Amino acid sequence: MNRELEKGKVGSSFDDFLKEQGTYEETTEQAVKRVLAYQLETAMKESGINKVEMAKQLKTSRSQLDRLLDPKNDKVTLAALSQAAKAVGRTLRLELQ
């Protein structure tokens, strides 16, 4: 039997790897933000809303909307995400597991 397999190194999950590296939480947060940004942009396209119209609905600037939709921006508030979701006819749902 392979020594690597015996030590539990082969076959461990990617989540375990990230936890060992100390980057699990940060990586998970970034992934969630990227998914939300993608979902908002997709919902905007499906609703026929461009960025100028979306910014008007949110009563904000186009540059602020760009920051909201930027998957790398980690300074977005839940309130801003909730307002953006409403503007495209969606709801923001969070849950603890």
Q: Along the 97 residues of the chain, how does pLDDT read in single tens digits?
A: 455 555 555 667 888 988 899 988 888 888 889 999 999 999 999 999 999 999 999 999 999 999 999 988 888 999 999 999 999 999 999 887 7
Contact assessment for residue 85 and residue 91, using Cβ atoms and an 8 Å cutoff: yes
Does residue 69 fall inside a structural domain? Answer: yes
Does residue 51 fall inside a structural domain? Answer: yes
Structural domain including 53 reads 14-87
How far is 4 from 30, CA to CA, in rounded Å?
31
DSSP letter at 60 equals S
- What is residue 7's predicted lDDT score, i.e. its pLDDT? 59
C-alpha torsion sign, points 25, 31, 37, 43? negative
Give the CATH number, domain containing residue 73: 1.10.260
In the chain, the number of structural domains is 1
Does residue 1 fall inside a structural domain? Answer: no
- What is residue 3's predicted lDDT score, i.e. its pLDDT? 53
How far is 10 from 38, CA to CA, in rounded Å?
33
Name the helix (H) or strand (E) containing 82: helix 78-87
Residues composing the chain: 97
